[in-house]
Structure 1
Amino acid sequence: MKTRTLGNTDFKISEVGLGCWQLGGDFGPIERSNVDAIFNAAQEAKINFYDTADVYGAGQSETYVGEHTQGLANKPYIATKYGRGAGTYPDGYSLTDLRDSLKRAQDRLQTDCIDLIQLHCIPTEVMQRGEIFDWLRTVQQEKHIQYFGASVETVEEGLICAQHDDLSSLQVIFNIFRQKLVEELLPIADEKDIGIIARLPLASGLLSGKFKPDTQFDKTDHRNFNKDGEAFNVGETFAGIPFVKGVELAERVKELTPEGYTTAQMAMRWILDHPAVTTIIPGASRAEQVLENAKVSELPSLPQSLHEELKAFYQNEVAAHIRGVY
């Protein structure tokens, strides 16, 4: 497993991290034995970056991460989030609320200082006002956190956050179906030494190439209840593309997959080929998926000709189908 330095931090994190949204049950029920197997596979693969949030399973994901990482000789870096909890979103933001939220997260994660806290898709106007970044600096000085970043929905929000020179990271939706960032945001992040954490690298599983138009998801899975944006930002599920259309487009991607790669591995390798990206954070519902994802770090970069083909594919066949502002 190769590592890259996360922005202006001293964290050398694995190119493939572990997204922990699914551990809260938001992709359907998950057994504790399966959670343990996923964590053990991450250790085996030398994945040292876990991404979670206080609202994943109402704190359950953070609790699992905290329990797993206690006593490890080589403890992974843990990134969590603030800003979507009840009483906070959309207009309950304050220094006191932030501090109290962090203390609860510290208890669940079993740590006195959180490695990286990220604003969690908060309203654009709250970012624009700017005082929330001063609050982050305050809790950083109080040693509740080591570094701070932001998870955003749009290029505009990323550019607002990037104006703060002490921002360490931006977590963004970035995959073959969502390429707008290449021209507008990644160069700024690279220039300002802001680490890019790419979430939804497989567009909620579409880019695995394994879904069919009649694929069914558990009733508690966000891919069932949020596929048209009923519960939260439409772009967080299937990259904002209508499911059936996404399956059709994924078949086209599958046709472009070179020998030696699965379609999922090609999709993730495509992201890592962008030097501004620090890590990708695919989720995994099984230990085997963790190990398959981890192999991407060792795969060779894709040919430039394939990058050009995928760029044209996005521009000509994908972009017009993306719903929501991004």
Structure 2
Amino acid sequence: MRYHPLGNTDLKVSAVSFGTAPLGDMFGPADESEAHAAVHQALDAGITFFDSSPYYGAGLAERRLGAALRGHRDEVVIGTKAGRYGPDEFDFSPARIRASVHRSLKLLRTDHVDILQLHDIEFVGLEGIFADSYAELVRLRDEGKCRYIGMTGYPMETLCRAVAETDLDVVLSYAHYTLLNTRLADTLAPLCRERGVGLINAAAVALGLLTPAGSRIDVPAGRPIVDAARRAAAVCEQRGADVAFLANQFSIQRSGAATTVVGTTKPQHLDSAVAAESTPIDEDLLAAVLAATSDVQKLSWHSGLPENNGGDTCSA
């Protein structure tokens, strides 16, 4: 496992990090023993960054993560979020952010998190996010409830505004450096480098679209993107390759982000993601897949308020 500095923070994070949405039953039920075993497997693999949120199972993921990390707090970087609490439940008011953080700390069994981020900010007006909500993050950081602050979301335009209009330590972007979409490389990533903001990448398999069976959740990707994902899987199948493994290789090794978040409670899937970090990429296979998805590489789907999305979007 390689480790990289996270922007201008003093954190070094594993190239592969562990996303805890599956611990909150977001992709199907997982029992307690399965959840704890996944965290311990991640630790054994050298993973040091664990990313969570109160949205994941209404705190279930945080509770399970806190229990599984008992005795390991000083060895890991823990991140959680605030502002999103359900599929359509958002509250970025300072009071709710503060209450959410206090609850998260209790569930995670720690007196501080290393990274605190506002979760999926594109679903509300950004003026309040960049004013009152951001100011509350700063206050919580000053009080020692978190060491570093950030924001997460899907639209590149929203995250670029967040980096440009506030003084963040980190941002988390998902599904924007995959076999289907590489917009991260020429939009957000250069801005983060310029500003010294740590870049966290996620959803290498595009929320399951880049797996042999396709996504298990309702991804609002639109027909062109879904069709491109199927073409990518077909190219890999014809060559006896696993599209998910190639997707992880490409995202982890080529995105330029400090770390890529992988979420799973399946031992074989976690082993595969960790192996993808260091296994050399089959360049001929990659070229064939990227050729098959070239028509959607700069295309994103809609997420959140229309005004928080740019022009290169694809309706479901």
Asked if structure 2 preserves the Cα contact closer than 8 Å seen for 1:270 and 1:302, the reply is: no
Equivalent residues in 2 for 1:111-150 (5 A)? 111-123=110-122, 126-129=125-128, 130-131=130-131, 132-150=133-151
Shift of 1:42: 0.5
Q: Distance in 1 between matches of 2:137 and 2:72?
A: 28
- Work out the number of aligned pairs and report it: 300
Equivalent residues in 2 for 1:239-318 (5 A)? 245=227, 248-254=230-236, 262-274=242-254, 276-300=256-280, 303=283, 311-316=290-295
Q: Which residue of 2 aligns with 1:231?
A: none
Equivalent residues in 2 for 1:47-196 (5 A)? 47-72=47-72, 75-85=75-85, 89-90=89-90, 92-123=91-122, 126-129=125-128, 130-131=130-131, 132-164=133-165, 166-173=167-174, 174=176, 175-196=178-199
In the alignment, structure 2 segments of 5+ residues that lack a partner are 304-308
Q: Deviations over 1:53-87 (max 9, x none)?
A: 0110010000011111111275321111111126x
Asked if structure 2 preserves the Cα contact closer than 8 Å seen for 1:5 and 1:12, the reply is: yes
Shift of 1:275: 5.8
Q: Distance in 2 between matches of 1:33 and 1:72?
A: 18
Q: Deviations over 1:67-123 (max 9, x none)?
A: 11111275321111111126x944x43222211110000000111111101110124
CA distance 1:240–1:161, shift in 2 (3 Å): farther
Shift of 1:276: 3.1
- Using structure 1 for the length normalisation, give the TM-score: 0.81
Asked if structure 1 preserves the Cα contact closer than 8 Å seen for 2:23 and 2:56, the reply is: yes
Q: Deviations over 1:166-223 (max 9, x none)?
A: 3122111221212222222211112212222112111122323x216xx8x5xxxxx1
Structure number with the bigger relative contact order (C-alpha 8 A, sep ≥ 6) is: 1
Among residues 213, 227, 241, which one is paired with 1:211 in the alignment? 213
Q: Distance in 1 between matches of 2:104 and 2:33?
A: 23
- Code of the residue aligned with 1:166 in structure 2: it is D
Identity %: 26
Give the superposed CA RMSD. Answer: 2.9
Name the SS of the counterpart of 1:151 in structure 2: strand
Name the SS of the counterpart of 1:26 in structure 2: coil
Where in structure 1 do 4 or more consecutive aligned residues deviate above 4 Å? 239-244, 305-312, 317-326
Q: Distance in 2 between matches of 1:89 and 1:39?
A: 28
